[in-house]
Amino acid sequence: MLFIRRIYIHKAFVQELTQWKEKQAHLLVEFTDNTENLQIFQDSPLQLTAPMVSNQKIKLKKRIPASLKMIRNHDFRHSHAAFLISKGLRNGEGKDSIFFTLMKRLGHSSINTTINIYSHLFPTQQKKLPMLLTTSRAKNGKKIYKTRLKALIRKES
């Protein structure tokens, strides 16, 4: 089943893609009836197939040092998500808002999926927890301590 997801991208990236599409059409027009059916990475008359990509990866693995880790296409997806999370936090957005936006952008059916995959990007929250609780208790007594603890537990889950 084919799923189509529409996402927003920067105008400059749209321009780059448009320029590439024009160059690609010029390069390959004599090999195809419809340049709109060309694959995004296609720069020769051969269409990429899964076995071709696998063979290229095998050849590449032989050429690179064992100490270098191969980067999978899916790793770019995770890097993109991590970048967006860090940008959102620096801009003062709340985690709930960031995770909901990411859920939609990445095509997850549930926000829990997004949280389970990317919550490890918030290690500082775990480090701050004891200090927040101690500070609250020292200033305001047990009642505030319990209220703050419940709020933090709800936030983290």
Rounded percentage of the chain residues whose pLDDT exceeds 70: 71
The better pLDDT of the pair 96, 54 is held by: 54
Q: What six digits make up the tokens of 57?
A: 């990866």
- Does residue 100 sit in the same domain as residue 134? no
The better pLDDT of the pair 2, 31 is held by: 31
Q: Is residue 140 part of a domain?
A: yes
Q: Is residue 85 part of a domain?
A: yes
- Give the integer Cα–Cα distance in Å for 139 and 141: 6
Name the residue type at position 78. Answer: H
Residue 30, domain extent: 9-42
Name the residue type at position 111. Answer: I
How many folded domains does the chain comprise?
A: 3
Q: Is residue 50 part of a domain?
A: no
Rg of the chain's alpha carbons, rounded to an integer?
23
pTM: 0.58
DSSP structure class, residue 70: P
Quick check: 80 and 71 in contact, CB under 8 A?
Answer: no
Q: Is residue 151 part of a domain?
A: yes
Most confidently modeled of 16-20, 41-45, 65-69?
16-20
- Does residue 130 sit in the same domain as residue 157? yes
- Give the integer Cα–Cα distance in Å for 51 and 49: 6
Map tokens 């991590």 to a residue.
Answer: 82
